[in-house]
Copies of this chain bind each other. A is one copy, B any other.
Amino acid sequence: MTTGVRRRMGVEERREQLIAVALELFSHRSPDEVSIDEIAGAAGISRPLVYHYFPGKRSLYEAALRKAAVDLAARFEEPREGPLGPRLLRVMGRFFDFVDQHGPGFSALMRGGPAVGSSTTNALIDSVRQAAYEQILAHIGITAPSARLELVVRSWVSLAESTALLWLDGRRVPRAELELQLVHDFVALTAVSAAYDEEIAAVLRAVLATEPSDGHFADLVGRLVALAPLPQSHA
């Protein structure tokens, strides 16, 4: 019989189990609200045994976060093929899958707090941001970005985070809309900078050149043109 409770696990297997149990609990409640007792109970082992595998609550939290960070960073990986819009849309879909699945844990982590705010967790969050940033740079084919382009890409990564956090607070907008909106936001923020920076303008032209005429970007531009009123016409 495999009750899961009595079967003997190796050290690594047990650690993995505890991390999985913790992440599952954090998907429903903030890490601050989840005790070691609960994690022990859900894993079917005693509290002291948890401490055998993880010296303290923080150590288990950080191990869980490390696993989640690797998972999240991997979701930004996407083959560099085809138009950028659909690529980014697939990335955003996987990003929101993650946010959806890890809701309370994601919120608690990004907002900081007693159990989750530490230099280790901040470094892990930064590692995910950096991975996302590097993936986006790779997609637009840039290896040595200017300070302005770096800022555009990093600020968009941050916008994706904050949009996801705002979405989690009530989920009042369908997530599919926000996934597409963030793809459009990327082009919009790039366009704003492109208007004043030739390097970024070249990036934008290259991105748009790969887009199909019936794609999302064309749809956006068409709608914007239909919205129309350029400021001049109202002066």
- Chain A residues within CB distance 8 Å of chain B: 111-114, 117-119, 122, 147-148, 150-151, 154-155, 158-159, 162-163, 166-167, 170, 172-173, 177-178, 181, 184-185, 188-189, 191-196, 201, 204-205, 208-215, 217-218, 220-221, 223-225, 227, 229-232, 234-235
Contacts and interface: CB of A to CB of B under 8 A. Distances in A.
Provide the main secondary structure of the chain A interface.
Answer: helix
Nearest to A210: B234
Nearest to A200: B227
A108 B170 CA distance: 29
The listed residue with most B CB atoms (<10 A of its CB), out of A155, A221, A227, is A155
A79 B12 CA distance: 61
Contact of A191 (B112, B166, B170, B227): B227
B151 A155 contact: no
A117 to B, nearest CB: 3
Contacts of A234: 208-211, 213
Given A166-B155, A201-B227, A221-B231, A192 B181 contact: yes
Nearest to A178: B151
B205 A229 contact: yes
A122 B165 CA distance: 14
A122 B214 CA distance: 44
A162 B166 contact: no
A25 B104 CA distance: 35
